[in-house]
Amino acid sequence: MKLDNSNMKLTDWQPLITQAKKSALNAYAPYSKFHVGAAAINTDNQIFSGCNVENASYGLTVCAERNCLSFAVNQQSSQIKALLVYTQQEKLTPPCGACRQVIAEFLSQDALVASANHLDHMKVWTVAELLPDAFTPQLLS
């Protein structure tokens, strides 16, 4: 597995990959058949996960990344240091635009976001690389 642009070691990502894979199995994706799992780790090394949940009204679909971060917030954890997205696709799948905005809300600009797949490929970005000049809560003050 190759890592791009990461301060975390490969072994640091393994628990997130394992949890995101498990979550992808729970995805509700009867329309797209595109199963996604996500896992995030906070500063206390707790892991939170989520999967995508589709809806017949496609606009109401909720991505794995947003479900994962919502679960972390529900568990009173907002200090997320890294997030990983897992799919069974050959090409790595970065977060969509809506997820990038939500990620920018809960992770610092230098936090890491990774994409991994079943072929053991992986790419890592910072939040700032995924969403440069993000609209963040700091702009509201």
β-bridge mates for residue 84, sequence order: 39, 114
65 is an active site residue: yes
Phi-psi region of 106 (alpha: psi -120 to 50; beta: other; left: phi over 0): alpha
| Measured distance CA(106)–CA(17) in Å, rounded | 20
Amino acid present at 100: R
Please identify which residue in the block is written with the tokens 């009204």.
57
Catalytic residue among 65, 90, 105, 129: 65
Among 126, 119, 113, CA closest to 85: 113
Q: Identify the H or E element spanning 65.
A: helix 64-74
Q: Provide the annotated active-site residues.
A: 65
